[in-house]
Amino acid sequence: MIEQLFGSKTRVKLLNLFYSNPNRAFYVREITRKIDEQINSVRRELANLLNIGIIKSENTNNRVYYEVNQEYEYFRPLQEIFGQSSATINKKDNINQEDQPLLDSLKMIGNIKLAVLTGQFTRDSSVDIDFLIVGNVNHNALDKFINELEKAENKTIRYSVMSLEEFNYRKTVHDRFVVSVVNSKKQIIIDQDGILTIQENN
């Protein structure tokens, strides 16, 4: 029914992808791989969405990246339709199920309290990492996970891992690194207890 309303299966898949990942930017072949559609169809629908203003693009390092335009006048209504349709939230743990393969892999490396994509994933050069993981991890499993993620994303990933205790301490003292992650353009994959929020001192 959604496909009939919006006129194209590829368009609906693109809207699901962009609205479920509002702070991430993707290039064409990455999009094609993620939504499993032909590249010509993807290019055509990207052009349509650009013309409407639903998405925006930017050329970086000779590669065109696309992301949802959060200033589009109907951003909120469309996010309610497409962000929720493919990104079911586990209310107890605040886990975004849209990234299910990534979530499943994270579960295999330990008890993860917080997982955040930023840096290269969101094209934010103000932060020095691409992936922050907070929790108790098996480091051998973590190394394997990062290697597989780098192969899948075709990029070297800068990551940082810390315990919940260390993160909470650094959050309390407004550590520069933690603050930079909080203030960065990011996509939260897991945040079990809303621990990313820094409380302002009274």
Of residues 194 and 37, more confidently modeled: 37
Ranges of each domain in the chain: 2-86, 89-191
Please name the residue that has the structure tokens 């107890």.
92
| pLDDT, tens digit, 9 for 90 and up, residues 41-86 | 999 999 999 999 999 998 877 889 999 999 999 998 998 888 754 3
How many whole angstroms separate alpha carbon 25 and alpha carbon 146? 20
Q: Whole-model pTM?
A: 0.68
- Provide the CATH topology of domain 2-86: Arc Repressor Mutant, subunit A (1.10.10)
- pLDDT range class, residue 2, cuts 50, 70, 90: low
| Residue 23 to residue 44: CA distance in whole angstroms | 22
Q: How confident is the model at residue 8 (pLDDT cuts 50, 70, 90)?
A: confident
Which residues lie closer than 8 Å to 46 by C-beta, 6 or more apart? 14, 28, 31, 55, 57, 66
DSSP structure string for 156-190: ---EEEE-HHHHHHHHHTT-HHHHHHHHS--EEEE
Tell which CATH classification among 3.30.460, 3.90.1070, 1.10.287, 3.40.720 matches the domain 89-191.
Answer: 3.30.460
Residue 202 has pLDDT above 80, yes or no: no
